Chain A
């Protein structure tokens, strides 16, 4: 079955760090463009980061310098390393596969709460 399963969310204090994982099945992560998209509670969707099949990466200005996207081809898994977390980073983080810069497959998401 083709699917994405996120994990790693939780409660973290402002200034803290967290690593999110997204395990893919049914396709190869390294052959696709993969993204993280987040949704603050009760709010809309915000694109966060992308990693391309080449390995190049891209980030929203709001997370640039704090978040790092990566992948482990041997585990067919996507990651988002989040440092210097802020209250405004609180959101459900979705892993999403790109077809042609639109997203044709989404995971169920993992909730990150940044609070003291």
Chain B
């Protein structure tokens, strides 16, 4: 199984400041035949289901604010919130879908 790790476990960021979350997979999730990274990011607020933010490592889901961006390739990825808003307080998960079983990172809690 591909193991996915995230860092940090939690972080506190001032409103309007940048938040950066890292995600690392135990093997590459880059598929050379289509040049895609099989990596997604989700946001989960308390008492709610996860919400898809980013897929293919850097493609923003429709309706997601452009302050959210994803980057990286191979085994190392980053989710950046360029200017943290109060409504961004949540736990963020990355997920690899290169191999089965699909696996998630342990989550990063973002607070103000």
Question: Residues of A at under 8 Å CB distance from B?
Answer: 35, 44-47, 58, 60-61, 94, 99-104, 106-109
* A101 → B minimal CB distance (Å): 4
Measured CB to CB, the closest approach of chain A to B109, in angstroms, equals: 11
- Contact B52–A103 (Cβ < 8 Å): yes
Contacts of A44 in B (CB 8 A): 93, 104-107
Partner of A101, one of B93, B102, B107: B102
Residues of B within 8 A of A47 (CB): 101-104
| Chain B interface, DSSP helix/strand/loop, else mixed | loop
A83 → B minimal CB distance (Å): 20
Interface size band for B = 20 to 34
B-side residues, CB < 8 A to A, are 38, 40, 42, 48-52, 55, 61, 93, 95, 97, 100-107
A102 and B52 in contact (CB under 8 A), knowing A44-B93, A45-B93?
A: yes
Complex contact B51–A106 (CB within 8 A): yes
